[in-house]
A = this chain, B = another copy of it.
Amino acid sequence: MSDDTLLERRHRLLGAGAPLFYDRPLHLVRGEGVRVWDSDGRVYLDAYNNVPHVGHCHPHVVGALAAQAGRLNLSTRYLDETILDYAEALTATFDESLSRVALTCSGTEASELALRMARACTGNEGVIVTDFCYHGNSAVIASLSTAYEVPEGRDPRVRTVHVPEADADAAEAAAGVEAAVASLAEAGMRPAAIFFDTIFATEGMPQVPPGYVERAVALTREAGGLYIADEVQPGLGRTGDAMWGHRLYDAVPDLVTLGKPLGNGHPLAGVVSRADLIDEFAGKAMYFNTFGGNPVSCAAGHAVLEVIAQERLMENARRVGARLREGLFALGNRHAAIGAPRGRGLFMGVPFLDEGGVPAPAVTGAAVNGMRERGVLISRTGRHDHVLKIRPPMPFSAADADQLLAALDETLDSLA
């Protein structure tokens, strides 16, 4: 079937508004490691997809999934060892205060649960988020995800803060949190939580000044709120420096939300929590998630943790990430359109700017399409959609990084 016919069928069955990548959509049919193949048999280096965290169709994960699916798949209302083995392995990667887990099917469900827990346990209603964030697609979570307009409008219980760049003064920037708390107080509310994606991915990956996150969290706690760390983007060793993004700062979260890469594509997500919070919430609300924590999902999640350790993927992210970073800085010397690269490990952002230093989303868009023509998949992010987003599966090698850098160099030459 031609891609045109496929697109027509898609519009008929899913609607023309369902989001697609690329001006000319890409029809993929197979994946392995860090590479995917389209319907014409063309191969692409995947430098974008973080969901297949340990590599597309990793045999250890697929094997674990298939074996458990053939054995038993039921809800957590029966006793089962699979979820306990996984929960033990997962919580072992966190501070010992974060000892309990509630598993869900999506990052949205994790955000929903964390916020319900924070509100029920603090008795407060307010939420502090950044002014360009994304935490999910349910009504409540979409209404606090400031990167997109929503038909529901902004929730009146939400206040926003601006995430500072590296050269800002941390204490001065954190005054935004004080202002948010004061604004909530004026409306008769106190904060239930501050919600931070600990790598600020949607925000365009600003390198926040040392002390900013710590100060923002302290101010929120003084006002009675909790710290929810959203690890959907930086989690599972992606930064190369730590298993979880929040470990890069000196503040232990009260609740951590997990999503996308957790099951290597299998719908697995969850909340890691202080024991007292999960217990208090269970006393106040009947929370049950039919698919959350089923043994097949847990087998997939556990296999992902095993591959990360066995293949030393965090170390790989640090090593290859450093090479990629160096290469991107070098490209910046050759191409005037490239601003200072940002990010860590295998999560890098490259802003494109015009001659006056103004964000140049048109150039970024052309670069994304040009890279695809050269067999490399990437995307873009940030408030002005001008930051190239490089976020490959974790087994990305030094040779893969070199291929990406060469393709980017060539693409920029062609755009000049």
User: Per-residue 0/1 for A212-226: is the Cβ within 8 Å of any B Cβ (1 yes, 0 no)?
Assistant: 000000000000000
Q: Is the CB of A62 within 8 A of B72?
A: no
User: In the complex, which residues of chain B have a beta carbon less than 8 angstroms from the beta carbon of A18?
Assistant: 76, 102, 282
Q: Is the CB of A16 within 8 A of B80?
A: no
- A interface residues, how many (CB within 8 angstroms): 104
Chain B binder among A287-295, A339-347, A407-415: A287-295
- The answer for the CA separation of A291 and B109 in the assembled complex, in Å, is 12
Q: Which of B19, B76, B285 contacts A77 (CB 8 A)?
A: B19
- Can you tell how many copies of this chain the complex includes? 2
Q: Is A259 an interface residue (CB 8 A)?
A: yes
Report A's interface with B, CB cutoff 8 A.
1, 3, 6-7, 9-10, 12-21, 25-31, 36, 49, 51-52, 56-57, 59, 61-62, 65-66, 69-81, 83-84, 87-88, 91, 99-102, 104-109, 112-113, 115-116, 119-120, 137-140, 142, 148-152, 259-260, 264-268, 275, 278-279, 281-294, 296-297
- The answer for the CA separation of A138 and B51 in the assembled complex, in Å, is 23
- The answer for the CA separation of A57 and B312 in the assembled complex, in Å, is 33
In chain B, what residue has the closest Cβ to A278? Answer: B15
- The answer for the CA separation of A151 and B9 in the assembled complex, in Å, is 44
User: In the complex, which residues of chain B have a beta carbon less than 8 angstroms from the beta carbon of A72?
Assistant: 28-31, 36, 56-57
Q: Is the CB of B106 within 8 A of A105?
A: yes
| Given A76-B14, A84-B10, A100-B14: A51 touches B290 (CB 8 Å cut-off) | yes
Q: Is the CB of A140 within 8 A of B139?
A: yes
| Given A65-B69, A69-B62: A26 touches B107 (CB 8 Å cut-off) | no
In chain B, what residue has the closest Cβ to A263? Answer: B291
| Given A74-B265, A80-B28, A265-B296: A17 touches B139 (CB 8 Å cut-off) | no
| Given A3-B79, A14-B100, A267-B105: A73 touches B282 (CB 8 Å cut-off) | no
In chain B, what residue has the closest Cβ to A88? Answer: B13
User: In the complex, which residues of chain B have a beta carbon less than 8 angstroms from the beta carbon of A102?
Assistant: 14-15, 18
User: In the complex, which residues of chain B have a beta carbon less than 8 angstroms from the beta carbon of A87?
Assistant: 13-14
